[in-house]
Amino acid sequence: MRRHGYHPNALIEVLHTVQESFGFLDEDSLRFVAAALSVPLSRVYGVATFYHFFNLKPQGKHSCVVCMGTACYIKGSGSIVERIEKEYGIKPGETTPDNQFSLLSARCLGSCGLAPAAVLDGDVAGKLEPEQVIERIREWTK
């Protein structure tokens, strides 16, 4: 925050830094940021919920971002998400109760040639079958 001179306009940058450090934005940190930058609480909350990048809940240890872009969707990314939903009972944007695994969806990863694609813990994997993805997640949650 000092780097940004405690300027109210630096709100988004500061929230970025907080999320990088803690993985998500909890109520205490939002209150702290609001007070330090003299930004109204409701505006901090509004910004944090407007941008999909910010998470207000802790994320799982592992993450799977399934691409829901047109190409991936046609190639069956919908069935990947369905399969995971069935197996773990979570919808995109949610985390399993044991905080092991978060399922996320993306508009388009830009890897349409690899459709259907997903990002598994930061690595892009392409031409996926639902069972392959489940296999990977099982390894994590063992």
Partner 1 sequence: MKQPSSHIKTLQIDGQDVGANQDETILEVARENGIYIPTLCEIEGLSPHGGCRLCLVEVKGVNKLLPACVTHVQEGMEVFTNSPRLQEYRRTILELIFSEGNHICAVCVVNGRCDLQALATKLGMTHVSVPYLYPRRSVDASHDRFALDRNRCILCTRCVRVCDEIEGAHTWDVSGRGVQAHVVTDLNTPWGDSDTCTSCGKCVNVCPTGALFEKGKAVAEMSKKRGFLPYLTQMREKRSK
Contact residues toward partner 1 (CB under 8 A) are 27, 30-31, 40-46, 49-50
Tokens of residue 78, six digits: 């919908």
DSSP 92-123: TTEE-TTSSEEEEEES--S-GGG-S-EEETTE
Considering the complex, what minimum distance in angstroms separates the CB of residue 68 from partner 1?
15
Considering the complex, what minimum distance in angstroms separates the CB of residue 76 from partner 1?
26
Which amino acid, 43?
Answer: R
Name the strand (E) or helix (H) holding 61: none
Q: Which is nearer to partner 1, 41 or 74 (CB)?
A: 41
What are the backbone angles phi and psi of residue 14, rounded to the nearest 5°? -65, -40
Q: Which is nearer to partner 1, 68 or 117 (CB)?
A: 68
Q: Which is nearer to partner 1, 46 or 89 (CB)?
A: 46
Considering the complex, what minimum distance in angstroms separates the CB of residue 26 from partner 1?
10
Considering the complex, what minimum distance in angstroms separates the CB of residue 138 from partner 1?
32
8 Å CB contact between 80 and 69 = no
**Triad 22, 65, 28: Cα angle to 5°:** 20
Q: Which is nearer to partner 1, 7 or 86 (CB)?
A: 7
